[in-house]
Amino acid sequence: MKKIFNLSVVLLFVMAGCQKKDEYLLNRTPDERLTDALAQYQNILTSAQYGWKVIVYPKGLEGVYGIKSAFSYFMQFKDANTVTQLSDFDTTTASVPKTSGYRLKALQRPSIEFDTYGYIHLPCDPDPAISKSPVASEGGGYGWGSDFDFAFADNKAPAQLGDTIRLVGNFNSSPAIMVRATKAEYDAFYAQGLKNAMVLDKILNYFKKITVGSTVFESTPGGYRTITFKYLDGSNNLNTIVSPPYYLTPNSISFVSPFTVNGLVIKSIDNLSFNAATNTATCTINGVTSTIAGAIASIKTDLTAPQRWFAALPTNFNKAWRSDAGFHVNGVDDAYGVKTIPSFYQYWYWYNAISSTVDYFGPMVISGGSLANATYYSRVKSGPTFTVDGRAIFALSANTGTFPTSVTNTTNLFYNTTGFYFVQVDNVTYDMVSATDAKSWIRWWHN
């Protein structure tokens, strides 16, 4: 009997030990909670009547290349898995809305995937010709190291989210931030606000003077998404500072990190407003009302630059200065269309190519798999006239062959009697800027 009793007690424990009690968090299974979370996120995204301001900080190039950047978007989400975007990527994306797909997906965290091609994919595109990637020379394949597939990263329940949502990219771990837009902001984005912030492209002069209070800076064309600032220091030397990459919000330029130009710490340029009649813009820098205006000459012309440019020719590779795309005129790259010349390779200024006193100015083409001069070109008297105020004026020897319009226009501009200023960009690059109005220039480089 005692044995049975003992056994019974043991059995009792065993039975009780088998009892299952699934203690689910919040009394619901993970799948139920995930489904619910995605529905709530979807609701939050689509319920924003005036859309979302989104800024993505690509992280993929930070580790290896130390390149920081930021891209700004305006997005409106619809229930039908579509999102309409504007972006500060270029003038088209800033002004023409594009609709593409998105969907919410349960990956390791609830995630939002922009699943068909929209503006947010441009900095992610592995083709450097599309992404304008700063590491294009690596052969492409990385874009800006940005993301289009993000996890919700706030670590709180969707219901507790306010007007700000933080995201982290699932591929490159790029952080992004979404802020609910107001009616005013919505209107600003659709009133070409991003395009209005691209003021520096609207002032067509090569030299732009930025006046902040009593200080004058100069800006010259630089790389994509950076601004080149120049200023005169105490000993009257021209210094160059290249800004960190910027992103645009309506009527404002913001830099990913503050930087210092001649003692002035700049974080953003705000309240940009362009006046087409005067070809100038007003803005606020550090709270100070400032102006941006085109200029015909630099605040300090490099007087010996033309001579240095010409003197470098005999030692340049192939004794030439080369340009990838003819003249930039009135805001248009390759305005004369030399790139449309069949088999166009580069435009060359070729030292002593004709004789010891005559140089070659014309297109180079790929012919039969190798580099050759075109059948039409201009013969330039070797050695331009150098003026004391830092210009070079070229003189025609003779023209050869029948010019297409692109070459005629290029040649006419080249021999203009006011000549050109030269701006040294780096050791192997010069910009040759028309001294007439500074609205035409060509970039020469050698390797």
Partner 1 sequence: MKKIFQIVVAVALLSSLFISCKKDENGSLSTPPLGLGGDTWFATSIDKWVYDSLTVPFNIAAKYRWDAWELALDKTLVPPDTSKVIDVLGGVKRVGLQPYIDQTGSPMLIKKYAPKNFVLVGSPEYNYNGTITLGQAEGGTKITLYLINYFTRLKKDSANFKQMLHTIHHEFGHILHQNVMFTTAYKNITGGYTATWFNVADADARKQGFITAYAMAAPEEDFVEMVSSMLIGASNGPTGYDNYDKLLTQAGSTTSAGYLAIKAKEAIVVDYFAKTWGIDFYGLQTKCRAALAGYLQ
Q: In this complex, which beta carbon is closest to partner 1, that of residue 79 or of residue 187?
A: 79
Structure tokens at 2: 């005692």
- Give the C-alpha separation, 347 to 342, whole Å: 13
**Residue 292: helix, strand or coil by DSSP?**
strand
Does the footprint of partner 1 cover residue 69 (CB under 8 A)? no
CB of 98 to partner 1, least distance (A): 9
Provide the mask over 114-143, with x wherever binding to partner 1 is found by CB under 8 A and - wherever it is not.
xxxx---x--xxxx--x--------xxxxx
Does the footprint of partner 1 cover residue 157 (CB under 8 A)? no
What is the footprint of partner 1 within residues 72-91 (CB under 8 A)? 79-82
List the Cα angle 268/271/275 in 5-degree steps: 125
- Give the C-alpha separation, 420 to 349, whole Å: 14
Contact in structure between 421 and 437 (CB atoms under 8 Å): no
Q: In this complex, which beta carbon is closest to partner 1, that of residue 2 or of residue 183?
A: 2
Contact in structure between 425 and 391 (CB atoms under 8 Å): no
CB of 52 to partner 1, least distance (A): 19
Provide the mask over 19-58, with x wherever binding to partner 1 is found by CB under 8 A and - wherever it is not.
xxxx-x--xxx-xx-xx--x--------------------
Q: In this complex, which beta carbon is closest to partner 1, that of residue 110 or of residue 326?
A: 110
Contacting range for partner 1; rule: CB under 8 A; set: 51-59, 112-120, 253-261, 287-295: 112-120
CB of 340 to partner 1, least distance (A): 14
Strand pairing report for 370-373 and 207-212? unpaired
Structure tokens at 413: 């501009």
Provide the mask over 343-382, with x wherever binding to partner 1 is found by CB under 8 A and - wherever it is not.
--------------------------x-------------
| DSSP characters over 349-387 | EEEEEEETTEEEEEEEEEETTEEEE-S-EEEEESSPEEP
Q: In this complex, which beta carbon is closest to partner 1, that of residue 130 or of residue 216?
A: 130
Q: In this complex, which beta carbon is closest to partner 1, that of residue 19 or of residue 155?
A: 19
Does the footprint of partner 1 cover residue 389 (CB under 8 A)? no
Q: In this complex, which beta carbon is closest to partner 1, that of residue 123 or of residue 384?
A: 123
Contacts (Cβ under 8 Å, ≥6 apart) of 314: 351, 352
- Give the C-alpha separation, 398 to 393, whole Å: 16
Q: How many other C-beta atoms can be found within 10 angstroms of the C-beta atom of residue 348? A: 24
Total residues at the site for partner 1 (CB under 8 A)?
A: 53
Does the footprint of partner 1 cover residue 342 (CB under 8 A)? no
CB of 194 to partner 1, least distance (A): 21
List the Cα angle 12/16/17 in 5-degree steps: 115
Burial label, 399 (beta-carbon count in 10 A; 0-12, 13-18, 19+): middle
Does the footprint of partner 1 cover residue 18 (CB under 8 A)? yes
Binding site for partner 1 (CB under 8 A): 1, 5, 8, 11-12, 15-16, 18-22, 24, 27-29, 31-32, 34-35, 38, 60, 79-82, 100-101, 103, 105-106, 113-117, 121, 124-127, 130, 139-143, 145, 148-149, 170-171, 369
